Amino acid sequence: MAFNINDVLSDFPILSQRVNDERLAYLDNAATAQRPRQVLAALQDFYTHDNANVHRGVHTLAERATEDYEGARVKVQHFINARSSAEVIFTKGCTDALNLVAASYGEANIQAGDEIVISIMEHHSNLIPWQQLARHKHATLKYIGLTAQGQLDMAAARRQITDRTKIVAVTHASNVLGTVNPLKELAVLAHQHKAVIVGDGAQAVGHMPVDVQDLDVDFYAFSGHKMMGPMGIGVLYGKAALLRAMPPYQYGGEMIGDVHRDDSTWADIPFKFEAGTQNVAGAVGLGAAVDYLQGLGMDNIQARERELVTAVLPRLTALPYLTVYGPQDPRQHTGVLAFNLAHLHPHDVATALDMEGVAVRAGHHCAQPLMEELGVTTTARASFAFYNTREDTDQLIRAIKETKEFFNRGTI
Confidence class for position 1, pLDDT limits 50, 70, 90: low
Domains of the chain: 5-31+297-408 (3.90.1150.10), 40-295 (3.40.640.10)
pLDDT at 271 over 70: yes
pLDDT digits (tens, 9 = 90+) for 154-187: 999 999 999 999 999 999 999 999 999 999 999 9
Which of 339, 330, 397, 385 shows the shortest CA–CA distance to 30? 385
Beta bridge partners of 117: 142, 168
Report if pTM > 0.95. yes
Strands 196-200 and 165-171: parallel
| CA of residue 82 relative to chain centroid, distance | 18
Residue-level pLDDT at 176: 98
Mean of the pLDDT values across residues 88-113?
98
Residue-level pLDDT at 412: 45
pLDDT more than 70, % of the chain: 99
Distances (CA, A) of 356 to 9, 20, 226, 279: 20, 7, 24, 37
From CA 229, how far away is CA 216, in angstroms rounded?
25
From CA 6, how far away is CA 389, in angstroms rounded?
10
Do residues 35 and 289 touch, judged by C-beta distance below 8 A? yes
Catalytic residues: 366
For the chain, state the CA radius of gyration.
22
pLDDT digits (tens, 9 = 90+) for 215-246: 999 999 999 999 999 999 999 999 999 999 99
Q: Please give the mean pLDDT across all residues of the chain.
A: 96
Mean of the pLDDT values across residues 305-323?
97
Residue-level pLDDT at 408: 76
**Residue 412 vs residue 210, higher pLDDT:** 210
pLDDT at 401 over 70: yes
From CA 307, how far away is CA 289, in angstroms rounded?
23
Residue-level pLDDT at 409: 66
pLDDT more than 90, % of the chain: 95
Mean of the pLDDT values across residues 324-352?
94
pLDDT at 410 over 60: no
From CA 263, how far away is CA 165, in angstroms rounded?
34
pLDDT at 323 over 70: yes
Residue 331 half-sphere exposure toward CB, CA atoms < 13 A: 0
